[in-house]
Amino acid sequence: MVSLIIACIISVAAIAALFFAWYFYLQARNKERMELIDRGEKLENIFRLQQQNRFKFKFPWLKVSIVTLGMSTAFLLIGIYIFFQENEPEKAKGFYITFIIGICLGVAFMVNHFISKKNPEK
């Protein structure tokens, strides 16, 4: 019961921290825009400069896919080892299920990489 309360408090604190980081980022951006307007900059120039200076981050989907597929293969090998060496098929089922989920995720990440590569405007 105590661990559940601690987990809830940590979750709420994490969500609050993310919200306040986002809030203060917007406040700073708004303050910067207001100062530029006070100095006499035109609004179109401000937006154009912000679009030029925008940081373009591309998530490394292919790398995540390769790591996920590698870990899934490791789970398959562990499952095979437990099935044949330890003779415990019930324990091996969990590793097989994790392998299947990991393979599906890895393929999905790889498809996402190639789809986003075809559509660079996003």
Is residue 62 within 8 Å of 110, Cβ to Cβ? yes
CA dihedral 46, 52, 55, 58 (to 10 degrees): 140
Residues 8 and 46 in one domain: yes
110 pLDDT above the threshold of 80: yes
* Boundary of a domain, candidates 52, 71, 91: 52
DSSP state of 39: T
Q: How far apart are CA 109 and CA 51, in angstroms?
A: 28
Residues 71, 23 share a domain: no
Q: Of residues 46 and 107, which shows the higher confidence score? A: 107
- Residue 29: predicted pLDDT: 82
3-class secondary-structure state, position 121: coil
Q: Which of 33, 52, 71 is the last residue of a domain?
A: 52
Token readout for 55 is: 């940081």
46 & 69 share domain: no
Residue 62 has pLDDT above 80, yes or no: yes
CA gap 68, 62 in Å, rounded: 10
Which residue segment(s) compose the domain that 72 sits in?
61-118
Number of domains into which the chain is organized: 2
82 half-sphere exposure, CB direction, 13 A CA radius: 15
Q: What is the CA radius of gyration of the chain?
A: 24
Which pLDDT does position 47 carry in this prediction?
A: 74
Dihedral sign for Cα atoms in the order 59, 65, 66, 72: positive
**Residues 108-118, mean pLDDT to the nearest whole number:** 88
Q: pLDDT (tens digit, 9 = 90+) per residue, 71-101?
A: 999 999 999 998 898 888 888 898 999 999 9
Same domain flag for 34 and 71: no
What pLDDT digit, counting tens, does each position of 3-35 carry? 778 888 888 898 999 999 989 988 988 888 888
pLDDT at 120: 62
Q: Do 47 and 68 sit in the same domain of this protein?
A: no
- Same domain (yes/no): 48, 68: no
